[in-house]
Chains A and B, each alone.
Chain A
Amino acid sequence: NAGVTQTPKFQVLKTGQSMTLQCAQDMNHNSMYWYRQDPGMGLRLIYYSASEGTTDKGEVPNGYNVSRLNKREFSLRLESAAPSQTSVYFCASSVDDNYGYTFGSGTRLTVV
């Protein structure tokens, strides 16, 4: 049972490049989330998907887009990467929005 799988684990981008972070869960969870984690800032919500077919902005959505491809997969896209987007990105899922999350192992992104 893999839980939440994120790819890639590490990525270096040049300013202005685009990329998509992939996330998949095999627990039949309804809700999925993307967070970024910066030193001393804790976890900040970028976007979430309460259920298949819906997405909503979180605390820090600017510069990102998401797609809930199906119940299992929730991707995060950076259209034009900026150094301020250097961070560790975590995907998480939960049964619904009133249950605890299962997190992936993270993607460490550096934008130069």
Chain B
Amino acid sequence: GESVGLHLPTLSVQEGDNSIINCAYSNSASDYFIWYKQESGKGPQFIIDIRSNMDKRQGQRVTVLLNKTVKHLSLQIAATQPGDSAVYFCAENIPYGQNFVFGPGTRLSVLP
């Protein structure tokens, strides 16, 4: 799960395994969600998005699942590779707001 503090939650997985990164979002009215990947020393990069009228969306090796009942979002990465090592952020867009709210992030570490 997500927590606020000095240390990011960390998920360690073996290369080739599947990864699941979770995010609890804050507002039940949020209608658009994005997962970003941030590699060391770089800005966040868009991975995949999902709107609230869907509960699943697939990309290349990534799947996002949305459970509006419990305000939960997850990112699944298939066959995790060393290049997937990064910090992953979920972001929610609240209707009539003018920006996204970002979660604190989860660090994914891929073990050889």
Contact = CB atoms under 8 A, between A and B. Distances in A.
B8 interface: yes
A42 B45 contact: no
Contacts of A44: 102
A105 B98 contact: no
Contacts of A97: 93, 97-99
| Residues of B contacting A: mostly | loop
Of the four ranges (under 10, 10 to 19, 20 to 34, 35 or more), the interface on chain A belongs to: 20 to 34
Nearest to B8: A40
Contacts of B34: 100-101
Residue in B36, B45, B100, B105 with the greatest tally of chain A CB atoms within 10 Å? B100
Contacts of B49: 100
B7 interface: yes
B43 A42 contact: no
Nearest to B5: A40
Nearest to B2: A42
Contact of A48 (B42, B89, B98): B98
B99 A98 contact: no
Interface string A83-112: 000000010100001101111111000000
Interface of A: 4, 31, 33, 35, 39-45, 48, 50, 56, 58, 90, 92, 97-98, 100-106
16 contacts: A39-B6, A40-B104, A42-B89, A42-B103, A42-B104, A42-B105, A43-B89, A43-B102, A90-B44, A97-B98, A98-B93, A101-B100, A102-B46, A103-B36, A105-B41, A105-B42
Interface of B: 4-8, 32, 34, 36, 41-46, 49, 89, 93, 97-100, 102-105
